[in-house]
């Protein structure tokens, strides 16, 4: 039984893997969120799961089913909540889901949990869910949790080669070169290459206004051009991410 996907194992096989190997358990977290005309709504979760699976293979880990609904899309990093299809949860819901996951994996006897975030807006609520989950378990708990945004594992050298004209920053990289390239690598059938927009980078003021200003956000929902995307760039990034994330897991959880 060599699958990395936890939900393809029986409980007997899962328990045996836990007892025998203490595999790190990867929990991808994504969002259901517009990603322009060329990428699917589930991009954040699909990429978090794909990167988690490639990493899990290198460290004999298991990947749990993705938490597929994320915190509310923000105009400056996800386009905002006004797009049809963007389907978000309140902070308390996401915090509760992560808190429950921490408690449940600890109950199974897992000792290492790696939460792989693929949606910018989730970050602080994942931290809160981990904190409350560990507090529930108490100081005697055996579970350790690592949390990461996968894109932070890209090196300056790789970013310089992926963005020969300059890197616009991770927030504006919504549905742009990184996500489009990674999707062309992992899920080419889900990318509408013919519809990739060439919008200039969105220009946001250094404050927010509520209700959010829809006209701040390009109509396509893409926050900087995705024209420079390619499957080859996606392959380079995917390999680097899996290598460096696996090294981090091995370092912390050896």
Q: How far is the CB of 1 from Mn ion (least distance, A)?
A: 33
On whether the CB atoms of residues 59 and 211 are closer than 8 A, the answer is no
Cβ distance to Mn ion smaller for residue 91 or 141 = 91
Applying CB under 5 A, the site for Zn ion has a residue count of 2
Show the binding pattern over residues 44-83: x = contacts Mn ion (CB under 5 A), - = does not.
Answer: x---------------------------------x-----
Cβ distance to Zn ion smaller for residue 44 or 199 = 44
**199 binds Zn ion, rule: CB under 5 A:** no
Provide the token pair at 101.
Answer: 């996951």
Provide the token pair at 57.
Answer: 């293979």
Cα separation of the two ends of the chain: 23
d(CA 62, CA 57): 8
**44 binds Zn ion, rule: CB under 5 A:** yes
Q: How far is the CB of 214 from Mn ion (least distance, A)?
A: 18
d(CA 43, CA 158): 21
Q: How far is the CB of 14 from Zn ion (least distance, A)?
A: 30
Residues 94-123 touching Mn ion, rule: CB under 5 A, are 119
Q: Which residues are catalytic?
A: 33, 35, 44, 119, 121, 174, 179
Residue 54 in 3-state DSSP? Answer: helix
Nearest Cα neighbor of 121 from 9, 62, 44, 191 is 44
Binding site for Mn ion (CB under 5 A): 31, 33, 44, 78, 119
């Amino acid at each position: 039984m060599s699958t990395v996907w936890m939900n393809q194992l029986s409980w007997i096989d899962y328990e045996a893997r836990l007892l025998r190997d203490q595999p790190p358990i990867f929990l991808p977290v994504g969002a259901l969120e517009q990603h322009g005309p060329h990428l699917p709504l589930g991009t954040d979760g699909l990429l978090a799961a794909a990167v988690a699976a490639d990493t899990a293979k290198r460290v004999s880990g298991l990947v749990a089913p993705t938490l597929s609904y994320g915190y509310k899309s923000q105009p400056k990093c996800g386009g905002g909540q006004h797009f049809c299809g963007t389907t978000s949860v309140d902070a308390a819901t996401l915090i509760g889901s992560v808190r429950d996951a921490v408690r449940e994996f600890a109950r199974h006897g897992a000792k290492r949990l790696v939460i792989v975030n693929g949606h910018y807006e989730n970050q602080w609520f994942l931290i809160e869910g981990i904190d409350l989950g560990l507090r529930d378990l108490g100081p005697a708990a055996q579970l350790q949790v690592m949390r990461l945004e996968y894109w932070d594992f890209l090196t300056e050298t790789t970013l310089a080669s992926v963005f020969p004209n300059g890197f616009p920053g991770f927030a504006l990289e919504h549905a742009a070169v990184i996500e489009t390239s990674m999707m062309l690598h992992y899920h080419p059938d889900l990318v509408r290459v013919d519809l990739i927009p060439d919008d200039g980078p969105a220009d946001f003021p250094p404050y927010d206004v509520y209700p959010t200003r829809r006209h701040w956000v390009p109509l396509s929902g893409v926050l900087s051009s995705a024209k420079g995307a390619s499957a080859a760039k996606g392959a380079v990034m995917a390999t680097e991410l899996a290598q460096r994330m696996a090294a981090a897991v091995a370092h912390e959880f050896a």
